[in-house]
């Protein structure tokens, strides 16, 4: 099951896990886009189920999970990918509504999906939770404030879950991408495409497929191997705050 599967890292994961021969459940808010992806993947022989809901809506998420057909209920891998950033204002000038959306999606949405899916993994004594965090969870950067805080929370929640399931065969991984070229920046800059494009100027950024490759690798590691955390950066990015741009 992959949340936020309609674009970026989520879409990359959808394609890579499908190529790996896995049945995939794709969730997102855009039903039309999910249907396009379902058709694309099924034409290539994949088994795909789509669920339309916003991870912020706990009641709807619960309804959709509880209504899964019997043959789709045993979820072996949960990729908690749904997330976003909004705005780059200083913390003291930030928009409270934007804060709510980021916290409700990046933290509470991840918790909702974990609560809905992991008990089944515990019962079956198998499974893997892959949370998509960020380099921003390691160190704050200018304009990042609340978004960075939500990704720091993802790290803490991932570590906490790993502790909680250590007496089982369930594995837990935190993927921490750096600069990835998706629609992430378009959303953050409220549709300002030129501003978003400038962020990737002078460097070859990561792609959603690059992060998906790591997710598939982690999920296919031998059962006694738990890849707890992976920091994934573009070659000329050294940290959240240092990017060397080449002309």
Q: Tell me what the mean pLDDT of segment 27-51 comes to.
A: 98
Does 191 map to a domain? yes
- In this structure, are residues 77 and 128 in contact, taking their beta carbons and an 8 Å threshold? yes
DSSP 46-103: --EEEEE--TT-HHHHHHHHHT--GGG----EEEE----------GGG--HHHHHHHI
What pLDDT, in 10s, does the model give residues 185-239?
667 767 777 776 777 889 999 999 999 999 999 999 999 999 999 999 999 999 9
237 in a domain, yes or no?
no
State the average pLDDT over residues 86-97: 96
DSSP 8-state class, residue 108: I
pLDDT given at position 184? 67
- Residue at 82 is within a domain: yes
Asked whether residue 176 is assigned to any structural domain, the reply reads yes
Instruction: Tell me, yes or no, whether 39 lies in a domain.
Output: yes
Active site residue ranges:
147
The number of distinct structural domains making up the chain is 1
Residue 114 domain-assigned (yes or no): yes
Q: Which helix (H) or strand (E) holds 232?
A: strand 229-232
247 inside domain: no
* pLDDT per position as a tens digit, 114-137: 999 999 999 999 999 999 999 999
Burial of residue 193 (number of CB atoms within 10 Å: 0-12, 13-18, 19+): exposed
CATH number at residue 153: 3.40.50.720
Q: Which domain holds residue 30?
A: 8-232
**Model pLDDT for residues 47-68, shown as the tens digit of each residue:** 999 999 999 999 999 999 999 9
């Amino acid at each position: 099951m992959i949340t936020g599967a309609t674009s970026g890292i989520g879409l990359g994961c959808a394609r890579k896990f499908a190529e790996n021969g896995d049945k995939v459940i794709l969730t997102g808010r855009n039903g039309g886009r999910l249907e396009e992806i379902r058709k694309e993947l099924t034409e290539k022989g994949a088994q795909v189920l789509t669920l339309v809901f916003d991870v912020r809506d706990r009641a709807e998420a619960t309804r959709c999970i509880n209504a899964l057909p019997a043959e789709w209920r045993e979820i072996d891998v949960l990729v908690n990918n749904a997330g976003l950033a909004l705005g780059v204002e200083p913390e003291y000038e930030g928009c409270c509504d934007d804060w709510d959306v980021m916290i409700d999606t990046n933290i509470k949405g991840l918790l909702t999906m974990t609560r809905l899916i992991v008990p089944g993994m515990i019962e079956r004594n198998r499974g893997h939770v892959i949370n998509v965090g960020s380099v921003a969870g390691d160190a704050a950067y200018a304009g990042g404030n609340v978004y960075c805080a939500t990704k720091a929370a993802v790290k803490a929640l991932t570590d906490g879950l790993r502790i909680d399931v250590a007496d089982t065969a369930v594995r837990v991984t935190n993927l921490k991408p750096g600069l990835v070229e998706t629609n992430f920046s378009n959303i953050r800059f409220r549709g300002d495409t030129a501003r978003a494009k400038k962020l990737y100027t002078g460097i070859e950024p990561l792609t959603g497929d690059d992060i998906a490759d790591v997710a598939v690798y982690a999920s296919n590691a031998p059962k006694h191997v738990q890849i707890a955390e992976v920091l994934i950066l573009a070659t000329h990015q050294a940290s959240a705050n240092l990017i060397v741009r080449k002309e």
